[in-house]
Structure 1
Amino acid sequence: MVKVKTSSRSLGRCWLSPRRGPYQSSHHAPERRMQTRSQISLSTHGSSTSHSFFHRLPSEVLDIILGKLTVLELSVFGMTSKDITSYVVDYISSQKWTNKEITQSFHQPAYQDQQATISHYRALGLLFKRCTLLLPTKERLKFIFSRFSQIPCFMLEHCFVQDCLGFACLGGFLQTLIAGWDELECHRVFNFLCDLTNILPKTEAIVHSKPGIYRFQEVEIRLFCRKVLLDPWSNRLECQFWLIELLKPWPMVSQAHLLLILFGPLLPEGTVGFQELVDRALPHAALWDLARALLLLLANWRSKGVIPPPWHVENVARLLVLCGSHLCYTFLVSKALNGRLQEISKLIVYIILVCEKDGYHMNWAVKLVQQVCKVFNSDPEKFLFLQNLENMFAETTRDFFESSVGGNLEDDREIFQTLCILLDSSARFHAKFLHMFLRRPEM
């Protein structure tokens, strides 16, 4: 055998050059360009994609390959081509895959298990988002929720387990699915969900009834709206969009009722504490969600009618403090312009009490009273307002004292403690108020 020594350079030339026949001159050789694999595939099989690699695989083998991928890997793999997207859609449409990846237990006590399940549904949202990218919005939603509507824990009045994770998982899924969609598409999503869950007729029955009659339905509507539509969004504008969509179908009084259902205080047994807002003063944590909702709606919604007259006045004052200067000032000024001096004087006394109780700086209350004073045009009107305020301090102090000297011993202690705080807050407020006037140049 004779060995032929060939350099790597000549090997390269032999690989790139066409094979010449015995009578073919090198000077007349046809020129051949390098081709990519896809070009070679097209030249071999034609332009049709029906003979692609995956079509030549048995469906059982293809299912095994797709079954080895995680949900996130599957979502990436489905984006590589239109053909592969159709393979992935067929695969995730099977009952076997649905049972494996979608139908899960939502009654998990362990916190880590709960977070893992919610993360899994966020990944599913990304998978369905990418697989249905070429479909119109209505068709996308039909395809997706034909699978998810079969899960009892995702639907209203189908799961009665307390602390069920179903709504939170659906919220994580929906947030990932529609992230980046425009407002028109989100309107379609809202309308689709309303039709799917029949939530509007159920909400209508609740908001047109006396608070607390449909306790289970109130809590279920609250959980669905909060966990599916509102809480998943960290962006203020997106959360505002969904809240306005929920309130828009109803008149003002029903909107106020629905706001309390969605954001009012929850009792330990899991029901909305409507009566507690009337009967006793609640801590700021019980009113914080409602205050945030009012601030969220401030730019687009009027707050009139949200705070019903029967509320305990300290709860009204605390909610106004939580809502901040602008809403609190607007609320008080609207009453001042209507001549309701006694009502705003009582509110201001309790705002000062709340500032002392909850640790807010008293300068805030002093500036608030100063701003309200500027609403009145003449000095006699300003004096009348301040006189009403001072009379209300005396009246409120007397009421607390009289309540503390008789009745239940435990209640007496709480009332006496509030009386002491009121006296301290009055002293602190008046010291700051007088100091503000002493600092004025004309003094």
Structure 2
Amino acid sequence: MVKVKRTSRHFGRSWLSPGPCGRYCVPGRRMQTRSQISSNTRDSTDNFFHRLPSELLDIILGKLSVLELSVFGMTSKDITNYVVDYISSQKWTNKEIFQNFHHPTYQEQQATIGHYRELGLLFKRCTLLLPTEERLKFIFRRFSQIPCFMLEHCFVQGCLGFACLGSFLQTLIAGWDELECHRVFNFLCNLTDILSKTEVLINNKPGAHYFEEVEIRLFYRKVLLDPWSNRLEFHFWLIELLKPWPMVSQAHLLLFLYGPLLPEGTIGWQELVERALPHGALWDLAQALLLLFSKLEVKGWFADSILAILEELTVIPQPWHVENVARLLVLCDSHLCYAFLASKALNGHLQEISRLIVYIILVCEKDGYHMNWAVKLVQQVCKVFSSDPEKFLFLQNLENMFAETTRDFFELSIFQTLSILLDSSARFHAKFLHMFLKRPEM
């Protein structure tokens, strides 16, 4: 009987040789790290796209949505270049960037704005490796072809172009630092020549170029201000818009941006002067002022600066109707309202602040604010005066102004407002007396 000898070639493990890590390896097979495997996979992917005809690659990219294209472009530098070449074509620009901005339905409006938000993400990712200036040049070579995105090129009321551009820009620059955002502002100013256009309007009589006023307002608000829900970003852009101008021009520009709009779409300059405007007409202006006043840590901005701007505002184009000034102060909340009145009290303008306080009390009654607010405001203003005779003189002026305003309304036969004033006077004095009766020494 022949005994068969078992060899490792058939049954054992000696045909495996131990590798550098102590494990057995197949002869001739090279060990690879995970990063090497990943690199090889990436290279093979890139080589795969290199081998494709450009026409076929365009067909593949054309099947992707804007959002999918933005994700695909991040897989490698080569793929990014493919995507950049693809979106640089006029065919893609005509398909994705040119949209219908005129007279959309609400659903179409939301869809178009959402589409531009996705375009912002695509261009943000595709241009990630470029310097800020180069990124903006690449993008606006395409976007400047759209009349609805540029000043003095579209004359359709209610055009959606600026809102879409704002949605795109907000997505593009989200997370950028202030220096880069400042470069964006300078780039847009150079592209649109908006600063020189704004200067022309500021130096002319308000309302003389009403179409240009509204267009500048829409561009600033829809593109740079309104897209930001975060107060810090909104504040940054508002400061950027105001910084280049002297104080009087800053007040003028704030009215361009947030002054009341008439139904026909023009700014109501004369309405501020001639008649009392409703609560909603001054709301946006008050919120902008309040935001500026609450962020005084910004270099070069102080409480006195905001008060001076507020003072300038209320005489453009001429001194406002007193009720409009009072309503703006009420909407600006306690701190700014008190600071404005206290500043006038310290400068000895007793008649003026007495008249303003009477109208503030009238506005509180008309607009449904609690009269305690007005009472506390008068109490705070009283503390500005250092001596009892000065406080008594202030209160005497206030009472005389109630009587004078009542006579004015009676002579003008404004009986409805007269009735509201009498009611507000009674309510104010009842609260005022109650405040003193609650004092311990009484």
With the length of structure 2 as denominator, give the TM-score of the two structures: 0.89
TM-aligned CA deviation for residue 307 of structure 1:
2.1
Show the counterpart of 1:307: 314
Tell me the SS of whatever aligns to 1:267. Answer: coil
TM-aligned CA deviation for residue 237 of structure 1:
1.1
Task: Name the CA distance, whole Å, in 2 between partners of 1:119 and 1:48.
Answer: 35
TM-aligned CA deviation for residue 163 of structure 1:
0.2
Match of 1:254 among 239, 245, 249: 249
Show the counterpart of 1:194: 189
TM-aligned CA deviation for residue 108 of structure 1:
3.0
What are structure 2's unaligned runs of at least 5 residues? 1-9, 18-23
CA contact (8 A) 2:273 2:321 kept: yes
Superimposed CA distance per residue, residues 130-189 of structure 1 (whole angstroms, 9 cap, x where no aligned partner): 000010000000000110011000000000000000000000000000000000000000
**1:263-278 equivalences in 2 (<5 Å):** 263-278=258-273
Show the counterpart of 1:331: 340
Show the counterpart of 2:5: none
Match of 1:401 among 403, 407, 410: 410
**1:29-428 equivalences in 2 (<5 Å):** 30=27, 32=29, 39=36, 52-298=47-293, 299-300=295-296, 301=301, 302-303=305-306, 304=308, 305-308=312-315, 310-404=319-413, 415-428=414-427
CA contact (8 A) 2:86 2:92 kept: yes
Equivalences, count: 409
Q: 1:353 to 1:40 in 2, by over 3 A?
A: closer
Superimposed CA distance per residue, residues 279-319 of structure 1 (whole angstroms, 9 cap, x where no aligned partner): 00000100001001101111344221222261000000000
The aligned amino acid for 1:222 is R
What are structure 1's unaligned runs of at least 5 residues? 1-9, 19-26, 405-414
Q: 1:365 to 1:29 in 2, by over 3 A?
A: closer
Task: Name the CA distance, whole Å, in 1 between partners of 2:282 and 2:272.
Answer: 9
CA contact (8 A) 2:46 2:79 kept: no
With the length of structure 1 as denominator, give the TM-score of the two structures: 0.89
CA contact (8 A) 2:228 2:234 kept: yes
Superimposed CA distance per residue, residues 353-378 of structure 1 (whole angstroms, 9 cap, x where no aligned partner): 00000000000000000000000000
CA contact (8 A) 2:260 2:281 kept: yes
Show the counterpart of 1:431: 430
Task: Name the CA distance, whole Å, in 1 between partners of 2:383 and 2:360.
Answer: 19
Task: Name the CA distance, whole Å, in 2 between partners of 1:317 and 1:199.
Answer: 33
Q: 1:333 to 1:81 in 2, by over 3 A?
A: same
Task: Name the CA distance, whole Å, in 2 between partners of 1:250 and 1:42.
Answer: 54
Task: Name the CA distance, whole Å, in 2 between partners of 1:36 and 1:71.
Answer: 35
Task: Name the CA distance, whole Å, in 2 between partners of 1:356 and 1:133.
Answer: 56
TM-aligned CA deviation for residue 41 of structure 1:
9.3
Show the counterpart of 1:21: none
Task: Name the CA distance, whole Å, in 1 between partners of 2:381 and 2:169.
Answer: 45
Tell me the SS of whatever aligns to 2:412. Answer: helix
The aligned amino acid for 1:314 is E
Give me the CA root mean square deviation.
2.2
Task: Name the CA distance, whole Å, in 2 between partners of 1:269 and 1:152.
Answer: 23
Task: Name the CA distance, whole Å, in 1 between partners of 2:138 and 2:323.
Answer: 51
Tell me the SS of whatever aligns to 1:320. Answer: helix
Superimposed CA distance per residue, residues 80-112 of structure 1 (whole angstroms, 9 cap, x where no aligned partner): 111111110000001110000001110033111
The aligned amino acid for 1:379 is D
Task: Name the CA distance, whole Å, in 2 between partners of 1:199 and 1:51.
Answer: 44
Tell me the SS of whatever aligns to 1:52. Answer: helix
TM-aligned CA deviation for residue 210 of structure 1:
1.0
